[in-house]
Amino acid sequence: MTFTKDNPEQALQSFRKLNVDDQLALLWFIYTKMGDSITPAAPGRAGIDIAEALFDRIKGMSHDEQLQVQRDFLSNADTELSREYGSLSDNTKLLLWYRLAQGMESATIVPMPPNYELNGEAKSLLAAVEGMEFEQQITFLRSSVEPTGAEPRSGAEI
Ligand code: 45D
């Protein structure tokens, strides 16, 4: 499939069709490409604290568990952690992904297997995202993580 940078909706649909591991790998590669252009602007103190608290809990897990947790987030698995994550705003979710990616760089979070290659569909999606303006990239990422995580139990609004 080909994408145009003027069609973010198509990119989003394509992201949602990827399996969870391909989504994780794609997010990782987007992170490595965006790198320094991501400058955490406070999404609100409560958001930062919650993202940081979730990050700390994930950091304390084994690598296998860390991977599972991230798969759970993207597959809307109904776990306690995934419900907490699911109650976050899009920006706070992105902040957590950003922290996880940073953790991967310092190997406190399970790193990518060496020489990992994206499959064809994920690869063309990465190229499409690379071709987007920064603001569009953020919009794409926000929309990508927006439906992730489990439905919070009623009353949990953070
Ligand atoms: O063994 O503060 C595989 C704003 C294969 C606003 C794997 C913002 C098998 C406010 C599954 C691949 C929204 C603008 C292993 C900030 C295998 C604000 C594992 C912006 C190990 C900060 C793969 C934020 C794994 C932005 C674990 C733009 C992959 C944030 C994990 C962007 C991948 C964040 C991860 C991005 C990717 C984060 C954690 C792009 C994270 C990407």
pLDDT in tens, 58-111: 999 999 999 999 999 999 999 999 999 999 999 999 999 999 999 999 999 999
Report yes or no on 114 lying in a domain.
yes
DSSP alpha helices (H): ranges in 6-115?
8-17, 20-34, 45-59, 63-74, 80-86, 90-105
State which ligand 1 atom lies nearest to the alpha carbon of 41: 2
What is the pLDDT at residue 67? 98
pLDDT tens, 35-66?
778 877 655 677 788 899 999 999 999 999 99
Residue 158 pLDDT:
55
Whether 62 is in a domain gets the answer yes
Expressed in angstroms and rounded, the spacing between residue 41 Cα and the centre of ligand 1 is: 16
Could you tell me the two tokens for 141?
Answer: 């990422």
**CATH code of the domain containing 19:** 1.10.2090.10
Would you say residue 1 lies in a domain? no
Q: At what angle do helices 90-105 and 45-59 cross, to 10 degrees?
A: 40
**Rounded to an integer, what distance in angstroms lies between the CA atom of residue 124 and that of residue 92?**
27
Is the pLDDT score of 1 beyond 50? no
Which range of residues forms the domain containing residue 133? 8-146
Residue 21 CA: nearest ligand 1 atom is 11
Mutate to test the pocket of ligand 1, among 88, 90, 91 (most ligand atoms within 8 A of CB): 91
Confidence band, pLDDT 50/70/90 cuts, at residue 31 = very high
Tokens of 133: 């303006």
In a domain, 158, yes or no: no
Look at residue 157 and tell me if it is in a domain: no
44 in any annotated domain: yes
Ligand 1 pocket (Cβ < 6 Å) reads 21, 24-25, 27-28, 30-31, 34, 38, 40-41, 43, 67, 70, 91, 94-95, 97-98, 100-101, 104, 110, 112-113, 116, 138, 141
Tell me what pLDDT residue 105 has.
94
How many distinct structural domains can be found in the chain?
1
